Amino acid sequence: MKNFFRFTERNTSYKQETLAGITTFLSIAYILVVNPLILSQSGMDQGAVFTATALTAIIGTLLIGLLANFPIAIAPSMGLNSFFTFSVCIGMGIEWQVTLTGVFVAGIIFMLLSLMKIREKIINVIPLDLKYAIASGIGFFITFIGLKNGGIVIGNPDTFVSIGDLTSPTTLLAIIGLILTIIMLVRGISGGIFYGMVITTIIGMIAGLIDIPSSIVGSIPSIEPTFGVVFGHLDEIFTPQVLTVIFTFLIVAFFDTAGALIGLTSQAGMMKDNEIPDIGKGLLADSAAGVIGAVLGTSTPATSVESSAGIAVGGKTGFTSVVIAACFVVALFFSPIINVISVEVTSAALIIVGALMAMEIRKINWTKLEIVIPSFLTIIMMPLTSSVAIGIGLGFVLYPICLAAQKRHKEVSPIMYMLCLLFLLYFAFIV
């Protein structure tokens, strides 16, 4: 087992990987509650989506851990499940069965692009400075999510965001968790993020802010209402409206995943010579999970940025992913316990992990304006638009333009020019 996951090469251990896996799982466990709630508003069966969400996470996470040896979780994307429900099903009036079929077709296209190594080639030609910008931008985005989940920052119609009510009991719980976690980390306590979440949960239960589960074991809902539905609606996707939806799923999922993989592997110290070893296998695992998830009955899964929590604890190999998958298996049977993990509990982990990922910003060449402008806008647009893909897209548009303006167009890969044009069309007609 140690040889298979290359423990010695990556300087890790069973204890370190297990702790990392549990930490990532606790950071992403909310998806088991939130994803069914969001997709049920499209008309899908909430219980079936819960089971489909868990099974998709189990299969996808195992695939990326065993095939690519990445310490990463794959689970339904929070952004794409909202797009699925509110933009497509409710906004455009497309039935959830047809929308799910669109997700299935997009997943098939993803698999073909991965097998042809087109996705791998695109990721490898992204300039190194932009890769660092993507990684640090995701860090800012994750921190913003953590601050929002903890109620530390809130929406404001006049200033867009502002400080929240710091006297609110739930916000205080998030702040206490943040302070405790910071103290443990700066004192060098291994697993400080994980221990911080456990202690915060206990404090929340004592203070009556988190419900103590009335039972431990729950029944597993049937997946029958959603399983295999996509195969009965393949003839309904050939309309301009649905084809546009498929294209949007492709663009957003492609670059969300690309950004997450770049950021996470960079954080784990796996990137070498501007390339990520075994990235092709990781992309194939991700795309296969998309097909499997649609068949089971959930919106597009993606590489989870919350994996950064486990990497921060020390996750370096696919064994971390095996542990995450095992936790999701347990969660199928112990859903009452999972339901007590609130967003306030995980907010501290996201805030701190975002700070750790943002450290990549120091590697960007801040002395050259043609690098600074696309890199900075890539970073800042991710938290401001709540979209990794939009941040990446803006960087991809501006980077070739900046170098072409300096008559250095030959330094830019032809693929980057193609991506520049693609994102210009995306911003013009879809966003």
pLDDT at 168 over 90: yes
Write down the pLDDT at residue 421.
93
Asked if residue 391 lies in contact with residue 382, where contact means CB atoms within 8 angstroms, the answer is yes
Write down the pLDDT at residue 365.
94
Mean pLDDT of the chain: 88
- Mean of pLDDT values over 7-32: 90
Asked if residue 368 lies in contact with residue 129, where contact means CB atoms within 8 angstroms, the answer is no
pLDDT at 268 over 90: no
**Residue 289, both tokens:** 């999970």
- Mean of pLDDT values over 113-121: 85
pLDDT at 430 over 70: no
Write down the pLDDT at residue 212.
83
pLDDT at 319 over 90: yes
Write down the pLDDT at residue 394.
93
Write down the pLDDT at residue 353.
76
pLDDT band at residue 227 under the 50/70/90 scheme: very high
pLDDT at 174 over 90: yes
pLDDT tens by residue, 331-359: 888 777 766 777 788 788 888 878 877 88
Place of tokens 């890969």: 413
pLDDT tens by residue, 372-381: 999 999 999 9
